[in-house]
Amino acid sequence: MKYLKAFFGAFILILIDQWTKYMVLLHVKPVSSIPLIPGVLSFTYHENRGAVWGIMQGQIPVLILSTIIILAVVLHIYARIPDTKKYVWLRLVSVLVISGAIGNFIDRVFRRYVVDFIYFELIDFPIFNVADMYVVIAAGLLILVSFIVYKEDSDFDFLRLKKGERHE
């Protein structure tokens, strides 16, 4: 059941991300920017051909391979998370990371760039998108629940290699 919930959740989140990017291509790209709160927040079209904050510009094959590796690791971890109520937060973090990674992966594979569009002009923050928000929310949530919910070392025992397992 945990896999079905995760698949459905990720599917919906990826659809939301891709829909927002489609709407930006349709409505924002032609005008380059639409102010939401003048001087503070706008939808500003940007083609990111790199990674976070524009690093690794033009390194699409490396970014695609990195995403595949990250997805494999997160999926492996998700498979090991106990299917109990206590670990609902870790499952949510995993689904958010998977959704964000796949959302930007789709852009990189099919467009050769990631569509970014949310721009906080007030602080001149780098332009980002919904998939990026999923990953940032996941990171914040992981930090928060690590202090509040998963305080004991034994809470992460499920990640340890069991006797007889090999690390490859």
What is the reported pLDDT for 50? 86
What is the reported pLDDT for 163? 60
What is the reported pLDDT for 119? 97
Please count the structural domains in the chain.
1
Task: Tell whether 163 is covered by a domain.
Answer: no
Across the chain, mean pLDDT equals 93
- 42 in Cβ contact with 32 (< 8 Å): no
CA distance 45 to 32: 5
Chain mean position to CA 126: 16
Please write the tens of the pLDDT for every residue from 32-42.
999 999 999 99
Reported as a pLDDT band with limits 50, 70 and 90, residue 154 is confident
Task: Tell whether 161 is covered by a domain.
Answer: no
Task: Tell whether 160 is covered by a domain.
Answer: no
Task: Tell whether 93 is covered by a domain.
Answer: yes
Task: Tell whether 164 is covered by a domain.
Answer: no
Range of the domain at 146: 2-151
Please write the tens of the pLDDT for every residue from 64-105.
999 999 999 999 999 999 999 999 999 999 999 999 999 999
Task: Tell whether 167 is covered by a domain.
Answer: no
Task: Tell whether 157 is covered by a domain.
Answer: no
pLDDT for 115 beyond 70: yes
Task: Tell whether 53 is covered by a domain.
Answer: yes
Q: Which residues are catalytic?
A: 116, 132
